[in-house]
Structure 1
Amino acid sequence: MAFLGTLCFLLFCTTLAGHFSHLLGVPAVIGEIIVGVVVGPAILNLVQLNTLVNTFSEIGVVILMFIGGLESNLQLLKKYLRPAIIVAIIGVIFPVVIMGGVSLIFKFTPFEALFIGVIFSATSVSISVEVLKEFKTLDTKEGATILGAAVADDIIGVILLSIMISMMGSKETTNIGIVLLEQIAFFAGVYLLFRFIAPLLMSLSNHLLMAVSPAIMSMIICLGMAWLANLVGLSGAIGAFFAGIAVAQTDYQKQVDTNIEPVGYTLFIPIFFVSVGLNMTFQGVWESLPFIITMTLLGVLTKLFGCGLGAKLNGFSNSSNYLVGAGMISRGEMALITAQIGFSAHLLSSEYYSDIILVIILITIIAPFMLKQAIKNMPNKEESIVV
């Protein structure tokens, strides 16, 4: 029962932090992440990232991405699929080559350096989704490109990680062919979900004698897709995102959005953002400061310019290029998961693991500031919005 007190305390703190963030003109997620830094092991050590907090955090990111899918425009995502793929590919190449190369200067082995590049190749779009929603730019060509590119570079990152684990000859070795087949099967399932499964289940829910049964059925679809995505080595957030898009194509989109958004934002989603800060620790930071500062700067710049270049190659304006690049900076849970898997598979020594985690957290804190600034710098935001 002690967890209820912890939950109460965190929700109280995040509510105040969100309030003052808005007063200061800062994205609310920044205040929530800072709450995690202050009350967690980094400063006051009042709250630790235990199993229950972690579970609530995982549910939070799943619901957040489901809501992101619900509020996305499928036609817009299809229209900007090609730019998204190009943005994703260049956005993976830049961190792998540049951050991996610079890691060699800090005396990492070539294999460790390559793995560091892979860690920072994946974008965690969940935080970007929250900022885009807050500033009403999720349903724009830039928003669609960011969402599509984040899904694509997640898949690329999983494949690269699988290859590296296989090269290590670890007990956790995964056959890359099997991984690809499983992911192809997953996306075939996504197609079936869009065409048949989601419309059928949502229609059936309307005949069930339960309060808000369409919302309950939508959560069944959401959690089921998140579980399946995780089963094939992808982030559960991707499965939830596609579940949201599928439900959005039915007649129940508004009803589901109205019922699910309060559930997410009153409990689970704030805990997800707090958990990002709870991962931070300043232990041994002074000895590793040059590495941490260098990799944080490169983590921001490789996505900003790499993904911005991908947008430029597709004819986007300079302000749109910057917005797409800024939207792809955040690493968050995807980088944390990749680092943890790689650490468990002995791709990275324990000596540098905490430094990498700190860099991920710092980049994740910086990203919403840059995305907000990019949105405000758009000369004529209305032109990007599809009504």
Structure 2
Amino acid sequence: MEFIFELAIILLASKIAGDISVKLGQPSVLGKLLVGILLGPAVLGLVSNTSTLEELSQIGVILLMFIAGLETDIDGFKRSWKASTLVGFSGIIVPFFIGFIAGVIMNMSTIEASFLGLLLSATSVSISVQALKELNKMKSKEGTAILGAAVIDDVVVIIALAFLMSVAGGDVNLSMIILKKVLFFAGAILAAWKLVPLILTKFAPLKVTESVISGGLIICFLFAYMAELTGVAAIIGAYIAGLAINITKFKHEILKKTETISYSLFVPVFFTSIGVKASFEGISQHLSTIIGLSILAILTKLIGAAAGAKLAKFSWSSSLGIGAAMVSRGEVALIIAAIGLESHLISQELFAILVIVVLVTTLVTPPMMKYFFKKSQSQKDIKITA
């Protein structure tokens, strides 16, 4: 029952912290992230990073990306493919090369420096999705470009990681990894076209409570599972599931009820759990490295992705807002870091440093997004008034 008590603390603290954050002019997600640090072992020790918390957190991020898919403007998504491609690739190229140079300066081997560059190229927009919702940007051109770029980023970085591991001598079949991803996307598109509407149509008339939302969640979790199974992140599978349901007549009912389930329990747990994982043990010994890599991680992704957005004809403020949304490395970078540690491409010491760097990028993303998008909106208002 101890976890039940911790869960009550998480929900209470995250809601209060989110409210305080909004009153201070920041997105609520920032308060939820910070209160996680406060509750976790790093400060008060009221909440432990248990496997149960991890599982609930995983459900939270899956549901968050599922909601993002449900809320995506499909027509805008189709129109934004060029912008998404430019943002995705420029947001990979700049961090990779600057990260590689940083690795060389830190006396890493070519393979290790390449791994550092690849890790800095990763993006997780699960935090950005919540900020986009609060800023009413989910269905905007910027929002659709960000979500499309995140899918591209995830696929390209994972394939590049597989290539690097094969070069490093790991037991990796690059052709099989690429084939799995191709099969997943082909299967997901086919299922979205044929199976998803059929499943929901069959579930709707069932004489049981909440049959439609149950059907939607089944689709979400199956897509997420198959994505993870084929080496694509579960959050991408969940997002595609949301897109699939987006074009059905059940969209609004599933969205409304999924939001109730998600934001009352699973999503607050996800945001808070990120802070709970923080550990500042021995931080003073590596403070300069942490600061240096954090600045590098923030600026390279911000500038790289913003450059791609500018090439796609966005204004500078909107471009920087898009770049800011891509800054958070989140769980994607943590997974890559864990692979690097297991494969002896990074040391335990560097792994601990990178975990803090990932946390820093996650914390700065919401306020940066708010600043740049608010500036962009102000400029639009001035033009309209003029």
TM-score (norm 1): 0.96
Judge conservation of contact 2:62–2:238 (CA < 8 Å) in 1: yes
Q: How far did residue 46 of structure 1 move?
A: 2.6
Question: Equivalents in 1 of 2:12, 2:231: separation in Å?
Answer: 35
Question: Equivalents in 2 of 1:326, 1:272: separation in Å?
Answer: 21
Question: Equivalents in 2 of 1:341, 1:96: separation in Å?
Answer: 17
| Residue in 2 that maps onto 1:356 | 354
| Residue in 2 that maps onto 1:174 | 172
Q: Which amino acid aligns with 1:82?
A: K
| Residue in 2 that maps onto 1:54 | 54
Q: How far did residue 44 of structure 1 move?
A: 2.0
Judge conservation of contact 2:293–2:357 (CA < 8 Å) in 1: yes
Are 1:11 and 2:14 counterparts? Answer: no
| Residue in 2 that maps onto 1:232 | 230
Stretch deviating more after TM superposition (161-170 or 285-294): 161-170
Unaligned runs of 5+ in 1: none
Judge conservation of contact 1:61–1:272 (CA < 8 Å) in 2: yes
| Residue in 1 that maps onto 2:251 | 253
Q: How far did residue 382 of structure 1 move?
A: 8.3
| Residue in 1 that maps onto 2:328 | 330
Q: Which amino acid aligns with 2:102?
A: V
| Residue in 2 that maps onto 1:31 | 31
Stretch deviating more after TM superposition (271-280 or 133-142): 271-280
Judge conservation of contact 2:111–2:168 (CA < 8 Å) in 1: no
Mapping for residues 19-168 of structure 1, pairs under 5 Å:
19-168=19-168
Unaligned runs of 5+ in 2: none
Judge conservation of contact 2:18–2:28 (CA < 8 Å) in 1: yes
Q: How many residues align?
A: 381
Measured against aligned partners, the alpha-carbon deviations of 1:321-380 in whole angstroms (never above 9, x if no partner) come to 111111111111111111112211222111211001000001110111100111111135
Question: Equivalents in 2 of 1:148, 1:27: separation in Å?
Answer: 22
Question: Equivalents in 2 of 1:247, 1:220: separation in Å?
Answer: 12
Q: Secondary structure at the match of 1:120?
A: helix
Judge conservation of contact 2:306–2:322 (CA < 8 Å) in 1: yes
Shift in CA distance, 299/195, structure 1 to aligned 2, threshold 3 Å: same
Q: Which amino acid aligns with 2:312?
A: N
Q: How far did residue 192 of structure 1 move?
A: 1.0
Judge conservation of contact 2:6–2:46 (CA < 8 Å) in 1: no
User: Of the candidates 306, 309, 314, which is equivalent to residue 308 of structure 1?
Assistant: 306
| Residue in 1 that maps onto 2:272 | 274
Judge conservation of contact 2:163–2:174 (CA < 8 Å) in 1: yes
Measured against aligned partners, the alpha-carbon deviations of 1:129-157 in whole angstroms (never above 9, x if no partner) come to 10000111110111011000011000011
Q: How far did residue 193 of structure 1 move?
A: 2.3
TM-score (norm 2): 0.96
Measured against aligned partners, the alpha-carbon deviations of 1:82-128 in whole angstroms (never above 9, x if no partner) come to 11112111111111110221122223333222111111111101111
Stretch deviating more after TM superposition (39-48 or 367-376): 39-48
Mapping for residues 151-230 of structure 1, pairs under 5 Å:
151-170=151-170, 173-230=171-228
Q: Which amino acid aligns with 1:298?
A: L
Question: Equivalents in 2 of 1:112, 1:274: separation in Å?
Answer: 32
Shift in CA distance, 381/54, structure 1 to aligned 2, threshold 3 Å: farther
Query: Identity over the aligned pairs, expressed in percent?
Result: 38
Q: How far did residue 168 of structure 1 move?
A: 2.6
Q: Which amino acid aligns with 2:150?
A: A
Question: Equivalents in 2 of 1:9, 1:147: separation in Å?
Answer: 32
Judge conservation of contact 1:279–1:361 (CA < 8 Å) in 2: no
Q: How far did residue 381 of structure 1 move?
A: 5.8
Mapping for residues 370-385 of structure 1, pairs under 5 Å:
370-378=368-376, 379=378
Question: Equivalents in 2 of 1:18, 1:350: separation in Å?
Answer: 34
Mapping for residues 278-289 of structure 1, pairs under 5 Å:
278-289=276-287
Q: Which amino acid aligns with 2:108?
A: F
Measured against aligned partners, the alpha-carbon deviations of 1:14-73 in whole angstroms (never above 9, x if no partner) come to 111111111111111111111111121222223221100000010000000000100001
Q: How far did residue 299 of structure 1 move?
A: 0.8
| Residue in 2 that maps onto 1:345 | 343
Shift in CA distance, 214/381, structure 1 to aligned 2, threshold 3 Å: farther
Question: Equivalents in 2 of 1:87, 1:208: separation in Å?
Answer: 44
Shift in CA distance, 142/274, structure 1 to aligned 2, threshold 3 Å: same
Judge conservation of contact 1:304–1:326 (CA < 8 Å) in 2: yes
Q: How far did residue 194 of structure 1 move?
A: 2.4
Judge conservation of contact 1:106–1:291 (CA < 8 Å) in 2: no
Judge conservation of contact 1:186–1:232 (CA < 8 Å) in 2: yes
